[in-house]
Structure 1
Amino acid sequence: MSSEQFQAAHESIYHIGTRLLEYLQELRQDRLSEGDDTKSLQSVEDNINKALQALKDQKYQVAVIAAMKAGKSTFLNAVIGADVLASEAEACTICRTDIRPIYTIATPRLLEYRQGQKEPVIIAEGNASLIRQKFLDRTHKLRATANQDNTTRFELQHPIEAISKLSSLAGFTLVDTPGPNEWESAGFSTVALKQTALEALRTCDAILFVLDYSSFKDNTNSELLQDLIEQRGEFLAKNTGKIYFILNKVDRKAEGDRAIDDVIADLKRALIGFGITDPVIYPTSAWQGLLAKLIQQGTEQL
């Protein structure tokens, strides 16, 4: 089902439910005027109201995982439509970051949640370049101090261009998780960092696995796949259509390299070897996607 079809189905269900609710309310008023207590109709009306509210408030989490240097941050930036997440050569993701959509008229913010504190700390508020730098500075400080502030997660509130026209995904959250390289290079509790990443995989509705076109057979990817299978084996068995593999950086293919279709076939065989039946693979260039969006927006962020 395409995003347009999903949106149309969502709107249709909500419209039908609303019309049915209006009809029941009119019918109940007529029955009340006739002396009927209308308890049964009230019960049906309450259930429809709950269903419509649940449809409106539906939450949908998509976890994005990758080994370091696979281009995960650039991929996320392309989906968001802004160069807001740092994409250094060094490990940048030290804990879970929830990316939640807001309206374009709202001000983007970066929040930090800490253990033992109910309210988050506002790290940055403003445009993408400001948030990007503040986020990077904060990440460096947490690494240098071995996370003495006990930061548990970040939350980025920013418009997500890829779903900006889909009101059905108002409860959508992108979850950026640290990969194995970052578990090892964090400089603090790698066990806690790994548990944070795997917990996101256990609770998400779908998984996007970003792989580097030139190095998808690395041991790091094998480790991550093994963790994924161990943590979400039952999920993967029942929901084979809810994990998607993003073969990134295909723009780096040189003239003498193998055809992309051959690389995809090789990757597919490797994934099947890990027990993932009929893997869904999308070749892409996150950098070209982000660049195109920034040019389209007329920005000067590059």
Structure 2
Amino acid sequence: MSNIRGITGLSDLKNEVQILLSLGLKALNQMINLELLVDLDQDNTFAYQAIAALRSEYLKLEQQKTIITVVGTMKAGKSTAINAIVGREILPNRNAPMTAIPTLIKHYKGRQQPHLILTDIAREPIVQLIQDLQVAFADPCHQHKLDQLRSDQDLFMTVEKIQQDIQVIDEVVGEVEILEFMILINDLIRISPVLDLEFPFDLYQDIERLPIIEVEFIHFADSDEFHGQLILIDTPGPNEAGQPHLRAMLQQQLQHASSVIVVMDYTQLKSEADAQVREDLKEFVNTMDHRIYALVNKFDNCDRNGMKQDELKTFVEGLTQGLIAKQYVYPISAKLAYLANQAKQSYLLHGTLPDAENVAWVEDFYVEAGLRRVAHRTTEHILDGIEDLWQQSKFKAPLDGVIKASHQQSLLVILDSAIDKLISYVHTFNQMRVKKFSELCKGIYGQGAAMNTDHIGVMTDRIFNKLQIDMSSLEKSAQLLKQSIADLASA
């Protein structure tokens, strides 16, 4: 075991955490190889998930990558909240669900035009599905299914593009083009089952396989300091499109998170869908000691009879059974923040706003800013309206307290996330090991035989003679590191 007492700064902490992650991965792999975990599940699913999560944490440390997973139910305003964080319309605001598979949004300094990047391993399943659909469309037996699709004009436009051999390129540039790509993916999901095919959701569990949108986050444009990579994960809502696989996909993406933002609908706090998200978070909370935040969206709907800010924070803490502490609850209006950002950027670039007849958000801005009458749309009133909407949105608090703080303290956040996951998984495996030893002893000494610690100790020595690390010692070392991280964070 390495010398934790010698830690003097972040660099030492990073080295120590990586050493422990490596030792933990080695021990877990050996446990699988020795078939010691069959009491948990026959195929070691949990063990493999733990190994994948710890490997992900190691890579995040190597690349100083802070990952904030954003979750929420359909229509909670998750896409609008992400647009407000980024400061521009990266994700489409539509009534229909548009996040078919998890999508990464990465702050890329200086990149004004958003670029959606697809690696080969992300492209190949989509290309293969399109080829399979082309074969299915050409089959005379499926003619009645094509007629069925023809009844949906928008959907059939995608069918025709597939028949004309649509190409899936590795880089999509521009907001409109990215929207078209997302529509394609959503249409593929809807078309496939009609032709008895399945969209390959299981191939998009790994974070390395996900599409990534690179764009400069407007609120970080003036920052010259390098704090590592800041990445948001936009996840499909677990209640979208009635797709049962989405919950499993959500749980998988939570495993990649350095921190989590839960977007909740102020008007639907007790809905069944929000309850599902809370249950998913409860399953995940064992690997995160904190860093779970709530953006309670649509707080601008609060009237004189509604819950006010302090009451709401206490309510959400109770609703989540303490999972989200009230100091991490932020009542906001993502729509007002989004409109303020859009108007501000347009005014900075062009000195005016676009024609409301051509750009949908402009009329929304005028309405929310109290500028319905054209005569009131002077420069002074527009700038005042931008500032008023930003203040009313209450978005500055989570932007500073969650997003900017996570970026500025990225290495501490990543270290804390890694050590939390290591402690959680090692603790779980330690409990599994005791359970397995008890079962083995019962088999050797009989059901009624007394099983004292000496017997269990003998079995420990025999079964773990090939293991090079004691998991209990590893957990203790991880706990010491966690305290070191906390000390540096408070310094």
> Same fold by TM-score, threshold 0.5 exceeded?
yes
Residue number in structure 2 paired with 1:110 = 116
The aligned amino acid for 1:286 is: A
- Indicate if the aligned counterparts of 1:91 and 1:185 stay in contact, CA closer than 8 A: no
Separation in structure 2 between the aligned mates of residue 222 and residue 209 of structure 1, nearest angstrom: 12
Residue type of the alignment partner of 1:253: C
From 234, 237, 242, give the equivalent of 2:286.
234
Structure (1/2) with the larger helix percentage: 2
Structure 1: where are the runs of 5+ without partners?
1-11, 15-53
Task: Using the TM superposition, give the Cα deviation of residue 295 of structure 1 relative to its aligned residue in structure 2, in angstroms.
Answer: 0.7
Please name the residue that 1:159 is paired with: 216
Aligned residue pair count: 239
More strand by share: 1
Note if 1:224 corresponds to 2:277: yes
Counterpart-to-counterpart distance in 1, 2:256 and 2:211: 17
Give yes or no for contact 1:56–1:168 (8 Å, CA) kept in 2.
no
SS of equivalent residue, structure 2 residue 295 = strand
User: Larger radius of gyration, structure 1 or 2?
Assistant: 2
Verify the 8 A CA contact 1:63 1:175 in the aligned structure 2. yes
Q: Rate the CA distance shift 1:243–1:277 in 2: closer, same or farther, 3 A.
A: closer
1:248 aligns with 2:297: yes
Equivalent-residue separation in structure 2 for 1:73 and 1:83 (angstroms): 9
Shift of 1:88: 1.5
Partner Cα distance (1:156, 1:99) in 2 = 5
Rounded to whole Å, the distance in 1 between the matches of 2:199 and 2:61 is: 38
- The normalised TM-score by structure 2 is 0.44
Q: Which amino acid aligns with 2:299?
A: V
Between 137-146 and 59-68, the greater mean CA deviation after superposition: 137-146
Counterpart-to-counterpart distance in 1, 2:304 and 2:185: 41
Report matched runs for 1:76-115 at 5 Å: 76-105=82-111, 107-112=113-118, 113-114=122-123
Could you say which residue in structure 1 is the equivalent of 2:192?
145
| Aligned-residue offset at 1:235 | 2.0
* 1:296 corresponds to which of 341, 344, 350: 344
Per the alignment, in what secondary structure is the counterpart of residue 79 of structure 1?
Answer: helix
Give the secondary-structure state (helix, strand or coil) at the position aligned to 1:86.
coil
CA distance in 2, matches of 1:194, 1:121: 29
Partners of 1:180 and 1:223 within 8 A in 2: yes
The amino acid across from 2:183 in the alignment is: L
Cα distance in structure 1, aligned partners of 2:308 and 2:267: 12
2:335 alignment partner in structure 1: 287
- Shift in CA distance, 102/216, structure 1 to aligned 2, threshold 3 Å: same
Distance 1:197 1:277 in 2: 18
Counterpart in the other structure of 1:210: 263
Question: For 1:206-250, what per-residue CA distance to the aligned partner results, in whole angstroms no more than 9, with x for missing partners?
Answer: 0000000111111111111111111x23223xx22x110111111
Secondary structure of the structure 2 residue equivalent to 1:168: coil
Q: What's 2:236 paired with?
A: 178
Native 8 Å contact 1:82 1:290 kept in 2: yes
Q: What does residue 400 of structure 2 align with?
A: none
Give the alignment of 1:1-150 within 5 angstroms: 57-105=63-111, 107-112=113-118, 113-114=122-123, 121-122=169-170, 124-126=172-174, 128-146=175-193, 150=200
8 Å CA contact retained: 1:82, 1:294: yes
The aligned residue for residue 267 of structure 1 is: 316
Secondary structure of 1:204's partner? coil
Please list the CA deviations of residues 155-211 of structure 1 after superposition, one character each: whole Å capped at 9, or x if unmatched.
Answer: 1112122333264344111001112112x534xxx33x3332211101210000000
8 Å Cα contact 2:105-2:232 kept in structure 1: yes
C-alpha distance in 2 between matches for 1:223 and 1:233? 14
Structure 2 CA distance, aligned partners of 1:219 and 1:296?
37
Distance 2:124 2:250 in 1: 16
Distance across 2 between alignment mates of 1:211 and 1:167? 32
Change (3 A) 1:57 1:264: same
